[in-house]
Structure 1
Amino acid sequence: MSSDDDSPLDTVRAQVESEIPDDLNVSRVTYEGPELVIYTETPRKFAEREGLIGTLASTVRKRITVRPAAGTQASPAEAKPQILDLIPEDAGITNLQFYPTTGEVLIEAEKPGLVIGRRASTLREITQKVGWTPEVLRTPPMESSTVDNVRNFLIEERDERREFLERVGDQIHREPTHDTEWVRVTTLGCCREVGRASFILSTPETRILIDCGDKPGAEGEVPYLQIPEANPIPDLDAVVLTHAHLDHSALLPLLFKYGYDGPVYTTQATRDLMGLLQLDYLDVAAKEGRTPPYESAMVRKELKHTITVDYGNVTDIAPDIKLTFHNAGHILGSAVAHFHVGEGFHNVVFSGDVHYTDTRLFNGASNDFPRVETLIMESTYGRRNDYQTDQEDSERKLIQLINDTYEQDGTVVIPAFAVGRSQELMLVLEEAMREGKLPTMPIYLDGMIREATAIHTAYPEFLRDGLRQRILHDDENPFLADQFQQVDGGQEMREDIAGGEPCIILSTSGMVTGGPIMSWLELLGGDPKNTLVFVGYQAQGTLGRRIQSGRREIPFSDRGSRSEQLTLRFDVESVSGFSGHADRNGLEKFVETMHPRPEEILCVHGDESSTDQLSSGLYQKFDVRTYAPKNMETFRFD
């Protein structure tokens, strides 16, 4: 039995030691972030006891990793051939690295399932044979510099990162000093507006920041991080990121500039996309002559502090708060974040951005929870008449527009978000050309689209079932079709493409706020044979919204000067149905089918008419308390 003076870790260690057989050794027990790590001088015997770790995890109610104590495993030179002998050759191992300080061996393979084995049988065999704890990663089917860089960086920082995780583990599993008497949600942005998403979730014990984005087309409008509820920033207990789009993630590294040194919880795919988009955000600012709000070193620091969480895993992130991510159906790795506060005291769900129904890329958003009292709900398409076209109809319309433009010897330009919409469009276009609905022509990918696509192939577990299987077979991977070509020759290549044969161009930025799309407006906008097609949401204040609304004389300069005007003569079309956001019907269905239905809903992340109309509609339809909050409001739940 443990005494009253024992720390929470001492108590857990005593539980572990009381549960394991006498012939198994426990040399050290520690927390690394939310996980309990057991170091042992008998790793092979632990591996032989199938089911023991599951039993221990149920007893202590923590996720458990077992690692060998230093010196108890075979040398890397001895272990490597034995590991290779245990893994089927078809697994396609591309990297094998040993980390003596943690007793782990990193195995990177084209087919990680073959490394893991049925019910993790091969992993257990590896530990039984050589004593090392295997960690398995997928080799992306498409080469991705982002995935490589993030993985290599985290490997280089492994020892320092372990110290960080132990510090976080101590913070998470400390004894609470306050009773859970209330929960508060404070709005720092994205209320009655789209962009700069940011919230504080607080209890008497804990403060957590959810998202920290910019506002598209509105330089300088950042979340209200200066208000008392958000400060002091260094004392925040945790940051949670729902997804990688810049209106949710762009300013997160700023927290580290302000002294934050804690964890960032997100999914593995979001971690990589976040790094890609934030570094590009800095690059675009520099090219446009703007002073970036932070340096790339802050992005690296943020990545080093990231703790990834899989969908469905209940994770302790504070003494009184558990986090569970669920699929949001919006972009790769996007999550609905469920917070369980106290011992069942209150449950808050942040929808992030959601897409309710299945798309070509993703399964629809998950809305089944153990308990929910409060829902913070996105409202991007929340107005009464915000009904998007059925996706099949949208695809037919897009294909018709491309055929019409092709027949008049023109080029189609599609401003697209690098993450999400571009990959959805690539699937539509690849299938249409394969089935003869479109003539085969080059599809040029400009900006980060190809790199973002490669990240999608690195994490097929986040994709829709059928697509996942296609990606895992080289001869069926739709993203590797010959017609997809990267624009990697700069302005000279763009000029050659613009003067060449009919083609399709997918280019960032999706809201025409800068980036390569500006070159395409200049090169193609003056020819009425060409067509510009909007397929995603254009926020108020963006150049994309002005063009979509009929503006044809636009300011144009690499440095943002208004001294030049560009006249657009090409056809401008909009095709709804490709958005990563649910429309009004989808938002209502998300609430209607949500289990259980929340007691109150805060409608956010939409312009004023969207949040007001969705709030009113949900109240009338479901008889729940609803609000359309302003920025810097605080809601208390007892």
Structure 2
Amino acid sequence: MSSVDKQLENLKAEITNELPRDISVSDVKYEGPELVVYTRDPKKFAQNGDLIRKLASKLRKRITVRPDPDVLSDPREAEPKILSVIPEEAGVTDLDFHIDTGEVVIEAEKPGMVIGRHGSTLREITQKVGWTPEVVRTPPIESSTVSNVRNFLKQEREDRRRILERTGRQIHREQLSDDEWVRITTLGCCREVGRASFIVSTPETRILVDCGDKPGSDDVPYLQVPEALGSGANSLDAVVLTHAHLDHSALIPLLFKYGYDGPIYTTEPTRDLMGLLTLDYLDVASKEGRTPPYESEMVREAIKHTIPLEYGDVTDIAPDVKLTFHNAGHILGSAVSHFHIGDGLYNVAFSGDIHYEDTRLFNGAVNDFPRVETLVLESTYGGRNDYQTDQQDSEERLIEVINETYDRGGKVVIPAFAVGRSQEIMLVLEEAMRSGKIPEMPVHLDGMIWEATAIHTTYPEYLRDDLRDRIFHEDENPFLAEEFNHIDGGEEERQDVADGDQAIILSTSGMVTGGPIMSWLRHVGPDPKSRLVFVGYQAQGTLGRRIQNGWDEIPVNGRDSMGRSDTLKLKMDVETVDGFSGHADRQGLENFVKTMNPRPEKVLCVHGDERSVQDLSSALYHDYNMRTFAPKNLETFRFK
């Protein structure tokens, strides 16, 4: 018998001993980080709401209770009983019964009403029918991504259970080494923006944090080195993804092409957005005649291997590592990732990308932790003079630009990241039109923006408190304003918009590196009455940065009759309105560190150009007397 089997046997005995005599335990299994307890008495379990909480506290494990399949009632009998318990205004749209696990997935417009106060309705459901309810939200805006992910995971349920059981056994295996040390190896995004990737290693465990591309470049993380995949992809125990932007997520599916078969830990919205963005990444590569680095099947593998975690949940992801996600304030589901290593040995936090102040879309980044010795900190706007305009001033300037352009009969074209900045701008525009600050006019959303917005509305609990309350309680979803139009008619519709009256166009890609924005430049770029407005970071080497720096003759797809690359003369004005970035500026980054509790002993400044990381590193050293570093790629830092 393996050590894990012995451990499960002992846990079963301990749980049985803790429970009332009339509640049986038929099996105990690990599924990922959770301990799953199967019982023939689910209704009695549900009658005592404190039982699971007490067991989890005593055993220091996350516990899920499921009914033994032998005692399940017929789904046809259970369905009307479940619906009789749930308030009608919850808007139940689907019930899906899974006999293998004894779970019933309830999809509803208002999940909170299905859950009930402190889970009271869920317990009542189990008391009535014995099934374990799991609740998901019906997207207010239909989302093909959310639907496809849910359907795919439903189809792959059996395979996914095997993955979770294997992962659970790996997490809870016996430790093999008595040594104690922690190392971080930098595989990308050091003294540069993009291709974020790190290895956290201990004598027991190797964890990859992020694996992204580099905008405007073919450079990829140094995955081939021995510290990374040089000894095989399955030498990794886990992958942690801080958020879904491609400079952090694009090459996650590549790991499965190389043979990785382990878990990916991220938040649920990040999982869905990763699927959306990586599939689009492959599509764009194909359209531009480049060979995609992996097939779409690898994206599905990544989704199947993802174990979603919620903010604040302390989760075992290896025998010697606990992971906790906290809101990073950057994009939907973005997470500051806190690693507690060993039995109090060392604590490391990776900021990912952060925004420290509240925005219209998100609460500001969390920087309060039980312990942190080392912080790996993004430095995108870490330069000495990288101060962004106050958000209110930025909004007023954007409104001013829109009014000026409207008055002269032009259109405003805004290159925007599909995830985050687009939704932020949508909220500004919706309020400005509702309050009469700008004239009512169509706001055309092109590329993935509409789909990304649909995903935002599926997970309102990740949005800023007051915005979430508007969507939850007031039936006043600003993303459903009638001015918003999803461009789904291709070139013909774009031409109609270009030929029509004043309008605002939000289009991907945000750095003008391809996608539908190139079409809008062809249609609207020659119009001197119109304006191109940058509201997000333009990385070095991107066309967006070149236009921002004054280029007015730009390459476009195709060649003329002489075989020369086509170019386009931009006659539209170009504006940059700072303050809408999802990144903290220099002051925000310093404030994040200054108010961090506890303040870290060491800071590694990463994810910024050379000047930015060195400026920030120097300032933190001088102002707060902490050890700081501006590492290069392929450096390894040993702690302890």
Q: Could you say whether these structures have the same fold, taking a TM-score greater than 0.5 normalized by the shorter chain as the test?
A: yes
Could you tell me which residue of structure 2 aligns to residue 500 of structure 1?
500
Asked whether the 8 Å contact 2:3–2:173 carries over to 1, the reply is no
Number of matched pairs: 636
* Residue pair 1:445, 1:486 contacting (<8 A) in 2 also: yes
1:10-62, Cα deviation, whole Å (9 max, x unpaired):
23223212211211100100000000000011111111122011010011101
User: Is residue 354–residue 582 contact of structure 1 (8 Å, CA) maintained in 2?
Assistant: yes
Cα deviation digits, residues 525-581 of structure 1 (max 9, x gap): 112111000000000000000000111121221589972221111100000000000
- Kept in 2: contact 1:193–1:606 (CA 8 A): yes
Aligned 1:616-631 pairs, distance under 5 A: 616-631=618-633
Give me the whole-angstrom Cα distance separating, in 2, the residues matched to 1:444 and 1:92. 30
Moved over 6 A (4+): 2-6, 559-562
For residues 63-118 of structure 1, give each alpha carbon's deviation from its aligned partner in whole angstroms, at most 9, with x where no partner exists.
Answer: 11110111212111111111111111111000001111101111010111111111
Task: Give 1:500-539 correspondences, 5 Å limit.
Answer: 500-539=500-539
Show the counterpart of 2:412. 412
Partner of 1:236: 236
Deviations 1:297-354, CA, capped at 9 Å, x for gaps? 0000100000000000000000000000000000000000000000010000000000
**1:403 alignment counterpart:** 403
Q: How does 1:15-164 map to 2 (within 5 A)?
A: 15-164=14-163
Which of 590, 595, 605 does residue 593 from structure 1 map onto? 595
SS of structure 1 residue aligned to 2:557: coil
Q: Determine if contact 1:93/1:107 at 8 Å carries over to the other structure.
A: yes
Matches within 5 A, 1:253-272: 253-272=253-272
- Show the 5 A alignment for 1:167-206: 167-206=166-205
Letter in 2 for 1:571: D
Q: CA deviation at 1:6?
A: 7.0
Matched with 1:224 is 222
Within 2, Cα distance between the matches of 1:331 and 1:353? 9
Using the alignment, how far apart are the partners of 1:389 and 1:333 within structure 2?
25
Tell me the amino acid that sits aligned with residue 381 of structure 2.
Y
Give, in whole Å, the separation in 2 of the partners of 1:351 and 1:5: 34
Q: Secondary structure at the match of 1:557?
A: strand
Note the alpha carbon deviations across 1:563-612, whole angstroms, 9 max, x for none: 22211111000000000000000000000000000000000000000001
Give, in whole Å, the separation in 1 of the partners of 2:360 and 2:42: 44
Please say if 1:634 is aligned against 2:633: no
Structure 2: distance between partners of 1:6 and 1:167? 12
1:601–1:627 contact (8 Å) kept in structure 2: yes
In the alignment, which residue of structure 1 is the partner of 2:13?
A: 14
Contact 2:213–2:251 (CA under 8 A) maintained in structure 1: yes
How far the C-alpha of 1:472 sits from its partner, in A, is 2.6
| 8 Å contact from structure 1 (residues 8, 175) kept in 2 | no
Instruction: Name the SS for the 2:95 alignment partner.
Output: strand
Could you tell which deviates more after superposition, 181-190 or 16-25? 16-25
Q: What code does the residue aligned with 1:491 have? A: E
User: Does structure 2 conserve the Cα–Cα contact (< 8 Å) formed by 1:555 and 1:562?
Assistant: no
5 Å matches for 1:236-385?
Answer: 236-385=236-385
CA distance in 1, matches of 2:437, 2:108: 37
Contact 1:108 1:136 in 2 (8 A): yes
Alignment of 1:461-472 (within 5 A): 461-472=461-472
2:165 is matched with which residue? 166
User: Given that residues 556 and 562 in structure 1 are in contact (C-alpha distance below 8 angstroms), is that contact kept between their aligned partners in structure 2?
Assistant: no
Distance in 2 between residues matched to 1:475 and 1:268, nearest whole Å: 23
Native 8 Å contact 1:141 1:474 kept in 2: no
- Name the counterpart of 1:572: 574
552-561 or 395-404: which moved more?
A: 552-561
SS in 2 for 1:108: strand
Task: Tell me which amino acid in the other structure corresponds to 1:230.
Answer: A
Tell me, in whole angstroms, the C-alpha distance in 2 between the residues paired with 1:320 and 1:281: 35
The answer to whether the Cα contact below 8 Å between 2:4 and 2:174 also exists between their aligned partners in 1 is no
1:476 is displaced (CA, Å) by: 1.2
Give per-residue Cα distances to partners, 1:140-180, cap 9 Å, x unaligned: 11111111110111111111111110000000000100135
In the alignment, the residues of structure 2 paired with residue 78 and residue 34 of structure 1 have an alpha-carbon distance, to the nearest angstrom, of 33
> What letter matches 1:205 in structure 2?
E
Distance in 2 (CA, whole Å) between partners of 1:475 and 1:41 is 41
Cα distance change, pair 125–558 in 1 and its aligned pair in 2 (3 A): farther
Contact 1:289–1:559 (CA<8 Å) still a contact in 2? Answer: no
Contact 1:391 1:577 in 2 (8 A): yes
Determine helix, strand or coil for the equivalent of 2:375.
strand
Distance in 2, matches of 1:511 and 1:376, equals 25
Residue identity over aligned pairs, in percent, reads: 71
Deviations 1:406-460 (A, max 9, x none): 1110000000000000000000001001100000000000000000000000000
Distance in 2 between residues matched to 1:293 and 1:345, nearest whole Å: 38
How far apart, in 2, do the equivalents of 1:94 and 1:178 lie?
51
Partner amino acid, structure 1, of 2:285: A
Structure 1: any 5+ residue segments left out of the alignment? Answer: none
Contact 1:141 1:471 in 2 (8 A): no
Letter in 2 for 1:244: A
CA distance, structure 2, for counterparts of residue 18 and residue 491 of structure 1: 68
The CA distance in 2 between the partners of 1:613 and 1:8, in whole Å, is 51
**SS state at 1:564 partner:** strand
CA distance in 1, matches of 2:331, 2:246: 12
* Contact 2:4 2:169 (8 Å CA) reproduced: no
Please give the secondary structure, in 1, of the residue aligned with 2:386: coil
User: Which one is further off, 112-121 or 324-333?
Assistant: 112-121
CA RMSD of aligned residues (A): 1.5
How far apart are the structure 2 equivalents of 1:520 and 1:106? Answer: 43
- Cross-structure match for 2:586: 584
